[in-house]
Amino acid sequence: MRRRRDHLLFKNLDWWSIATYLLLVFIGWVSIFSAVYDPEHSHIFDTSQRYGMQMIWMFGAWLLAFVVLLIPARTYVLYSNLIYFIGILLLVVVLFLGVERSGSRSWLVLGPIHFQPAEMSKLFVAIGLAGVMSRPHFHIQNRRGFLQAAFLILFPMALIFLQKEAGLAVVLTAFVVVLYREGLSGWVPIMGIVAVVLFLLSILWDPVYVLWLCLGVVFFIGFLESPKKRPVLITALIFASVYFAVPLALKLFSVDLFSYIKKYQWFLALAGVLSATLLVIAFKNKITYLKVLLPVFAGCVLLVFSVDYVFNKALKPHQQARIETLLGIDTDIYGSGYNVYQSKVAIGSGGLTGKGFLQGTQTKYNFVPEQSTDFIFCSIGEEWGFVGALLVISLYAFLLFRIIIMAERQRHPFGRIYGYGVAACVFFHVFINVGMTIGLTPVIGITLPFISYGGSSLWTFTLLLFILLKLDASNY
């Protein structure tokens, strides 16, 4: 009985997704061919070249996809914990037995096979998370549930950071999307985004301006929330006038306040007094919104002052440089900004319809580094122009659309949670990867799904997608 159903399952597959998948893989193969084209090895099947190798990865991926479709869907649900555990084990093992490649220790070598467990982490985190969160009494709104989910994401993330694969670790934050879909308050992702923005602003601006911005926003929210508007306005005015008037008044007596303390110290002193006063009032009069707002402000202040430490101590010089390049502080196009600059030149020179297949001079002559892996999008942008780039982005958009449709139509929450995990990973990879080639996001070295050269990436995304297809087809 089950056997017969399994045979039928091939009919229920979402062929739209499979077609899009095959198209993207094919585009990838051709782009790699074009990016590393060598007239002496002009055959796309030549396995001494990357394009030939990619063909082998492609066949491998399809074999894997076929195997996945043969395995009963419930296996992933039943063994989700085991799969997650094996994944974590690999991440630990690689820390000890891994081979060091360009500064990071993330590759496992088993004879001829080289692979990167960190790249695979998306897969087992998606399955593990789906397994835990689809349990009957799991609620993300509960503290216990939240902490469980957070741990499932943060633990492998920490292990990957230890392997010095910061990019692949950051990818896992994409799973916040899954948590949000399952009922996590929208404040968590918003706070996250606010934190990132504040972090970047603190690098760009003098801290005093960032502090003023925070305070301004706090006053604004207070103004909206407070039943009486006037006291909020008066408080804001008093604060601003004291901040500016006192140093001016002191100057009349030829005392320069800012020769004794720095501007931000003066600001903090005043803000401290204000916060303390407001806190007392908040507790006396039981004003709820103030009780929330004040800690948030305190948090912002802490963040602003941690930036200096995080940026200079926690980040490595090349990571600092990448952020500075992104923010336009570092414009050294022959130094740290070289990759992004050359990549922008390649894509920008493509124009509307591109230079044509194999005619891309920027990528073909090695101006763009990592052109077949992380910067493969350059080749597409240069040779196929805006039209080609838009086509690729549209394909991703369509695929994401299909994935969400599949996720939403799952009867079992496992399928839905897993589906959103797949969507989140694909989106994050596409957004960051394409973004970094055009100077929109920092260069963190992650691949373009289905297109970039390399077995680990292609196989991981193939598995991610086909497990979802199998779940969908059998509608477990």
Partner 1 sequence: MNKRGKNAIILFFIVGLLLLTGKLFFLQLINKEYKVTADNNVLRYEIIYPSRGLIYDRNGAILADNKAAYDILITPRELAPFDTADFCSIFNISRERLVNMLADIDARRQSIGYQSVIFVRQVSNQQYTHFLEKSYKFPGFSVQTRSVRNYPSDICGNLLGYIVEADKTYLERNPEYRAGDYIGRTGLEEAYEKTLKGEKGYTIFLRDVLNRIKSPYAEGAYDKPSVPGKDMVTTIDLPLQLFGEELMQNKVGSVIALDPTTGEILTLITSTGLSTEYLTNFGVHYSQIISDPLKPLFNRAIMSSYPPGSVFKLVNALIGLEEEVIDPSTRFSCNMGYRAGSLTVGCHAHPSPTNLVQSVMMSCNAYYCNVLRSILDNPVYENTAQSMDQWERYVKSFGFGTRLGIDIPGELTGSLPGSALYNKMYGKNGWRSLTVISLAIGQGEIGTTPLQLANLAAIMANRGHFYTPHLVKEIPDDNAAQPKATQNHTLVNPHHFEPVVEGMYLAVNSPAGSGATARLAAIPGIDLCGKTGTAQNPHGEDHSVFVCFAPKDEPKIAVAVYIEQGGFGASQAAPVASLLVEKYLTGDIQPSRKWLYERTLEQDLLSRHLQ
Closest CB 420 distance from partner 1, rounded Å = 7
Q: How many CB atoms lie within 10 A of CB 19?
A: 14
Residue 136 binds to partner 1 (criterion: CB under 8 A): no
Q: Determine, following the binding rule CB under 8 A, whether residue 430 of this chain makes contact with partner 1.
A: yes
Cα(211)–Cα(219) distance, rounded to whole angstroms?
12
442 interacts with partner 1 by CB under 8 A: no
Pick the stretch among 120-128, 223-231, 283-291, 346-354 that binds partner 1 (CB under 8 A).
Answer: 346-354
Out of 358, 439, 474, 476, which residue is the one contacting partner 1 (CB under 8 A)? 439
Q: CB of 342: closest distance to partner 1 in angstroms?
A: 8
Closest among 84, 146, 92 to 121, alpha carbons compared: 84
Choices 95-103, 274-282, 294-302, 392-400; region in contact with partner 1 by CB under 8 A: 392-400
**Interface with partner 1 includes 349 (CB under 8 A)?**
yes
CA distances from 214 to 211, 243, 321 (A): 5, 16, 26
Nearest residue to 375 via CA among 320, 454, 303: 454
Residue 420 interacts with partner 1 (CB under 8 A)? yes
* DSSP output for 382-451: HHHHHHHHHHHHHHHHHHHHHHHHHHHT-SSHHHHHHHHHHHHHHHHHHHHHHHHHTTSS-----PPTTT
- 406: its two tokens: 């599949």
Question: Shortest distance, CB of residue 302 to partner 1, whole angstroms?
Answer: 27
Tokens of residue 146, six digits: 């939240």
Query: Contact 347/31 with Cβ under 8 angstroms?
Result: no
Q: Is 141 in the site for partner 1 (CB under 8 A)?
A: no
Residue type, 318: H
Q: Residue type for 453, please?
A: Y
Residue given tokens 């779940």 in the structure block? 471
Q: Return the SS3 of 113.
A: strand
Distance CA 222, CA 294 (A): 10
User: Where in 168-187 is the site for partner 1 (CB under 8 A)?
Assistant: 177, 180-183, 186
Question: Residue 297 Cβ, how far from partner 1 at the closest point, in Å?
Answer: 26
Tell whether residue 365 is a contact of partner 1 (CB under 8 A).
yes
Q: Let me know: does 258 contact 247? Beta carbons within 8 Å.
A: yes
CB of residue 403 to partner 1, shortest distance in Å: 10
Question: For partner 1, which stretch binds (CB under 8 A), given 143-151, 236-244, 249-257, 340-348?
Answer: 340-348
Residue 115 near residue 456 (C-beta atoms within 8 A)? yes
| CB closer to partner 1, 208 vs 393 | 393
Count the site residues for partner 1 by CB under 8 A. 43
Contact 77, 129 (CB under 8 A): no
Q: What is the DSSP letter of 76?
A: H
Asked if 375 is part of the footprint of partner 1 (rule: CB under 8 A), the reply reads: no
Q: What is residue 368's DSSP assignment?
A: S
Regarding 188 and contact with partner 1 (CB under 8 A), the answer is no
C-beta closer to partner 1: residue 293 or 323: 323
41 near partner 1 (CB under 8 A): no
Q: Please tell me whether residue 344 binds partner 1 under the rule CB under 8 A.
A: yes
Per CB under 8 A, 351 contacts partner 1: yes
Minimum Å gap between C-beta 341 and partner 1 is 8
* Closer to partner 1 by Cβ: residue 434 or 451: 434
Q: How far is the CB of 83 from partner 1 (least distance, A)?
A: 24
Residue 450, interface with partner 1 (CB under 8 A)?
A: no
Sole binder of partner 1 in the list 362, 379, 447, 457 (CB under 8 A):
362
- DSSP state, residue 98: P
Least distance CB 136 / partner 1 (angstroms): 14
Nearer CB in complex with partner 1: 32/179: 179
Applying CB under 8 A, the span of 74-82, 89-97, 198-206, 427-435 interacting with partner 1 comes to: 427-435
Residue 108, beta-bridge partner list? 115
Least distance (Å) from partner 1 to the CB of residue 451?
A: 14
With beta carbons less than 8 A apart as the criterion, state whether 347 and 377 touch: yes
Cβ within 8 Å of residue 225, ≥6 positions away: 289, 293
Interface residues with partner 1 (CB under 8 A) are 177, 180-183, 186, 342, 344-352, 361-362, 365-367, 381, 385-386, 389-390, 393, 396-397, 400-401, 404, 408, 420, 423, 427, 430-431, 434-435, 438-440
